[in-house]
Amino acid sequence: MTTSEVQLGDGDGDSAVLVSCSVNGNSVEFRAPVHRTLMDALRYELHLTGTKTCCAEGECGACTVFVNGVAVNSCLVLAAEIEGQDVVTIEGLGEGHPAGLNDLQASFLEAGAVQCGFCIPGQVMAAEFLLRSNANPSVEDIRDGMSGNLCRCAGYERIVAAIMTTARKRARR
């Protein structure tokens, strides 16, 4: 057992890790089972349930968050791996913006891209990363950049439209 591991209190022999990191600009420390994914730690230890659990194997993008500014599938990252790292979730993206929504989130709503909504937090995080990487994307760039994010409601055209609208508005600033 390393110095950062502790025994869970119920005596079942499982070990836990203490993790200190930044989440949405706040310093946090939590204890989680050693095999806990970042996705589950966000939801169960930190109660940030905007990050969705779906496939849990890196196929759907519903769990997308930023780690050090890079979009990742949080179901493929162990909580222990984010020690000292900077995490941003969908809850953090709109902080400081009117109604708690940044311009991209507002565009998703205005474009009618939100149907059941389950995939949307991951879609928005992936789209934000796309726009930060490519401020002037073509429709093909958007489709390619968003190919890891699945929508069971098949709202893809409106999602693409929301991202394109945001890119155009940002270009005019």
56 contacts ligand FES (rule: CB under 6 A) = yes
* Closest by CA position to 139, among listed 117, 111, 158, 112: 158
Q: Does residue number 55 form part of the binding site for ligand FES (CB under 6 A)?
A: yes
Which residues within the stretch 74-133 sit at the binding site for ligand FES (CB under 6 A)?
75, 115-120
Residue count of the chain: 173
Q: 18, 28, 67, 153: which one contacts ligand FES (CB under 6 A)?
A: 153
Q: Quick check: 63 binds ligand FES (CB under 6 A)?
A: yes
Instruction: Extract the tokens encoding 58.
Output: 């890196």
Q: Which residue stretch of 24-32, 61-69, 85-93, 100-108 sits at the interface with ligand FES (rule: CB under 6 A)? A: 61-69
- What φ, ψ does residue 124 adopt, rounded to 5°? -65, -45
Which of the ranges 48-56, 87-95, 124-132, 135-143 carries the binding residues for ligand FES, by CB under 6 A? 48-56
Judge whether 136 and 130 are in contact, CB under 8 Å: no
Write down the residue that tokens 């389950």 correspond to.
Answer: 118
Q: Is 43 helix (H, G, I), strand (E, B) or coil?
A: helix
Q: Taking the complex as a whole, how short is the minimal distance between the CB of residue 168 and ligand FES, in angstroms? A: 23
Q: Rule CB under 6 A: is residue 170 a binding residue for ligand FES?
A: no
Give the angle 38-39-43 at the CA atoms, nearest 5°: 110
Residue ranges that bind ligand FES, judged by CB under 6 A: 53-56, 58-63, 73, 75, 115-120, 151-153, 155
